[in-house]
Structure 1
Amino acid sequence: MTIPAATASFHGIWPALLTPLKPDLGIDLHRFGLHARALVHAKGCGGVVPFGTTGEGPSFSVDERRDAVDALVGEGVPASQILVSTSCAALPDTLALTRHALAIGAHGCLMMPPFFLKGVSDQGVIDCYRQVIDGAADDRLRLYLYHIPQVSGVGLSRKVVETLKRLYPQTIVGIKDSSGDTAHTLALADAFNETLMVTAGHEPDLPELARRGSTGAVSGLANFMPHVVQRLAGRPDAPNTPHDVSRVRLLLAMLGPYALTPALKGIMAALSGEPGWLRVRAPLVALTTDQMHTLQHALKPIALDVDVD
């Protein structure tokens, strides 16, 4: 694989940040910044990704998201190590967040198609991306496509990816496939790995992607087990890789009965001793006390390689 010049700085693990909340359900900006800074500076992550689906991005306003990204920079996270998820239901909001990311010098933007209307055509999806890219009108923009159809209800077909890459060869630099469909993810890598950074949200797929030339990953589990995820993405043929894959599969199976973000926040609360991590924005619902007890009991045999601040 020849890594595109625009994505040469995308390497290593980029946690899809969970968003800590205060009792009033506003963003806990200080804890948000401390968490991101620890991941980048103390735990060796390549960067961080705020306000994706793991981070409840669509549940926060444009102003909240801008202020929180500014807080990350204020806490010492280099803007060049922030990949901002700018996805919103309304394109003007996506454009506003994209312009803000450009203004602070962020690494790039991660964008899924507008997700309110369903049954849209490939042309409609292409038009959405074109309006944001043309509206930003900035050659510095580096855009990562975000495919998570089980959440957004709107997928990215191969035609959409090919068309956008042809129209904006310097702007479209990567795609994050969080479909959980291993065959689809590997097909994307085989089709585009010469020109795009292809990464997966399903951590067990990372070793095979690495064998196909991927140099990084965006991962929700990396909020609390970055070293394990780093091994999966960076050392696919190491002797302990099958064991790490088995542990991650066991963890994901354990999380299956729960809504993912509340469960991940439950793990953060359990490992850090900070119950504030449990808070989520509606329509998500925080884990109950009984669910937390069950979760903590189930975590014991997994032996997570963790170091939570």
Structure 2
Amino acid sequence: MSTKYQKQDAKAYARENFRGVWAATITPFREDLSFDEEGFRANLRHWVRALRLGGLFVSGKQGEFFSMSLAERKRSFEIAVEEANGHCGIVTSCSDTNLDVVLDLARHSQAIGADYIVVHSPVLHFHQDAEETVYEYYRYLSEQLEIGIALWNHPDCGYVMSPQLCARIAELPNIVAIKYSVDRALYSELTRLAGDKILVSTASEEEWLDNIVELGWQLYLCSTPPFLLQSAVDQRINEYTRLAFEGKIAEARAVRDSLEPARAAFRSARPSGTPQAYSKYWLEMLGQVGGPVRRPLLNLTDTQKAAARDAFARSGLKLA
């Protein structure tokens, strides 16, 4: 097994290295729906070298992990680690409804040198009280694995983990972070309860700067905005993050606010129910590799693509 730290040092390693802007990768597929490894490598090189992101969150929901085979998921991890090559961090998404699959993916991530894994809270059917069930789930994963584990909770799994439950899980030795896709009151409470034990983050780019300033956050473990609202010559998310970390808050706010036309344009044409297809098409307009989505997701219609092109033209994003 190859890890960059010992289990007992996972929290300290994450505190030192799990920081900045981490974006969730998309998985490009060819027209025959096979995994486009060459396209994925090309995208990774752009995200790692041109965009200089702090890290990448590989094959999560945005990456359509639910429609990928186990072999494809492992291969995506391997390619990401190879292309990052120490220039940015890699957290692999090992979420699954089957615990054996989670452990298989997690052990593979350890073996290939990923920095951390992320595991979504389990889908629970007919539950009355998720607290003990979810705690035991993560306690068992912590016991079985050496690698640092990031929690992930979102209401679409059927429940929201309480800040108190998250804080309890945060006591486990290799629980290092959480992507807590909840409202501000909950993630603020968790930061108060356990911010010294795990790194708290949420998916919202629009809240990132305020969370640096008001909550002392160092990690944005997010979705796709860092590579959908940036290019090689227009990196305002990176810029306002740097300014905020340097304590130049007024300058950071000015840069953050200047991105609002791009955010508004992106939101204006995004159809409900097809976020991955929309992100892939937007990525193509930025000159990267997108391709179709796999079932059960729906691809964009011609009308939706036309709306996306109009929105992109209004975004003000600079490509050169």
TM-score normalized by the length of structure 1: 0.86
Which whole-Å CA distance do the structure 1 matches of 2:58 and 2:121 have between them?
A: 17
Matched AA of 2:113: G
| 1:161 partnered with 2:166 | yes
- Specify the SS of the correspondent of 1:217: strand
Question: What's 1:225 paired with?
Answer: 229
Q: In the aligned structure 1, how far is the partner of 2:271 from the partner of 2:180?
A: 19
In 1: Cα distance, 2:159 partner to 2:25 partner: 23
Could you tell me how far 1:19 is from its partner in structure 2? Answer: 0.6
Give the counterpart letter for 1:147 in structure 2.
N
Please give the per-residue CA displacement for 1:82-126, whole angstroms capped at 9, x wherever unaligned. Answer: 100110010110011110111112110111112263536111111
Q: What is the distance in 2 between the residues matched to 1:216 and 1:68? A: 23
Deviation at 1:206, TM superposition (A): 0.2
1:56-75: per-residue Cα shift (whole Å, max 9, x none)? Answer: 12222222111121122344
**Equivalent residue runs for 1:290-309 within 5 Å:** 290-305=303-318
Aligned-partner residue type, residue 177 of structure 2: G
Matched residue, 1:135: 144
Which position in structure 1 is the counterpart of 2:279?
A: 264
Counterpart secondary structure, 2:77: helix
Separation in 2, partners of 1:191, 1:253: 37
Measured at CA, do residues 118 and 298 of structure 1 come closer, stay the same or move farther in structure 2, by a change above 3 Å? farther
Structure 1 residue runs without a partner (length 5+)? none
Sort the Cα spacing of 1:153 and 1:79 in 2 relative to 1 into closer, same or farther, 3 A: farther
CA-atom RMSD in angstroms: 2.5
2:287 maps to a residue whose letter is: S
**After superposition, where does 1:1-309 map in structure 2 within 5 Å?**
5-7=12-14, 8-75=16-83, 77-78=85-86, 81-115=89-123, 117=125, 119=127, 121-136=130-145, 138=146, 141-150=147-156, 152-166=157-171, 168=172, 170-179=173-182, 181-211=183-213, 212-219=215-222, 220-226=224-230, 227-236=235-244, 237=249, 238=251, 239-245=254-260, 247-255=262-270, 257-272=272-287, 277-305=290-318
Q: For 2:124 and 2:32, how far apart are their aligned partners in 1?
A: 27
Check the 8 A contact 1:177/1:199 in 2, yes or no.
yes
Moved more, 49-58 or 113-122: 113-122
Question: How far is 1:189 from its partner?
Answer: 2.9
> After superposition, what is the alpha-carbon deviation per residue over 1:115-156, rounded to whole angstroms, capped at 9, x for unaligned?
2635361111112212222222x2xx1111112223x22432
Q: Given that residues 150 and 176 in structure 2 are in contact (C-alpha distance below 8 angstroms), is that contact kept between their aligned partners in structure 1?
A: yes
Aligned partners of 2:103, 2:54: CA distance in 1, in Å? 25
Query: How far 1:232 sits from its partner (Å)?
Result: 4.5
The one-letter code sitting in structure 2 at the alignment partner of 1:59 is: S
Q: Decide whether the 8 Å contact of 1:225 with 1:304 is kept in 2.
A: yes
1:167-217 CA-partner distances (Å, limit 9, x unpaired): x1x3111111233x2333333333332222111211101011111222231
Task: State the SS of the aligned residue for 1:255.
Answer: coil
CA contact (8 A) 1:176 1:201 kept: yes
Q: Report the Cα distance in structure 2 between the residues aligned to 1:80 and 1:263, rounded to whole angstroms.
A: 26
Identity over aligned pairs, percent: 23
SS in 2 for 1:173: strand
Letter paired with 1:266: Y
CA distance in 2, matches of 1:108, 1:231: 25
Q: Distance in 2 between matches of 1:217 and 1:304?
A: 21
Per the normalisation by structure 2, the TM-score is 0.84
* Residue-pair matches, total: 296
Secondary structure, counterpart of 1:203 in structure 2: coil
**Which SS does the other structure have where 2:22 is aligned?**
strand
